[in-house]
């Protein structure tokens, strides 16, 4: 994919429930003019699990 044809329309990140869950949304277009296609990427993860994994990895590295 040519980077000049790949345009970001919106990119947002948010946390809900006191930061326990986090998400990101990206909407972008590929192509130009009438031939452009719109795509989106939505990711949702549980921040507590990621933090616990990082702490476990740091403890194991000792």
What's the domain count of the chain? 1
Are 41 and 30 a contacting pair, CB within 8 Å?
Answer: no
pLDDT digits (tens, 9 = 90+) for 18-51: 767 888 999 999 888 888 888 989 888 777 777 7
Q: Which residue has the higher pLDDT, 43 or 3?
A: 43
Separation CA 56–CA 54 (nearest Å): 5
SS3 assignment for the chain? CCHHHEEEEEEEEEEECCCCEEEEEEEEEECCHHHCEEEEEEEEEEHHHHHHHHHHHHHHCC
Domain that holds residue 21: 3-60
């Amino acid at each position: 994919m040519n980077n000049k044809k790949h345009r970001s329309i919106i990119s947002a990140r948010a946390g809900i429930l006191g930061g326990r869950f986090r998400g990101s949304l990206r909407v972008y277009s590929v192509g130009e003019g009438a031939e452009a296609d719109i795509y989106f990427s939505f990711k949702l993860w549980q921040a507590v699990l990621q933090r616990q994994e990082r702490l476990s990895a740091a403890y194991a590295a000792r």
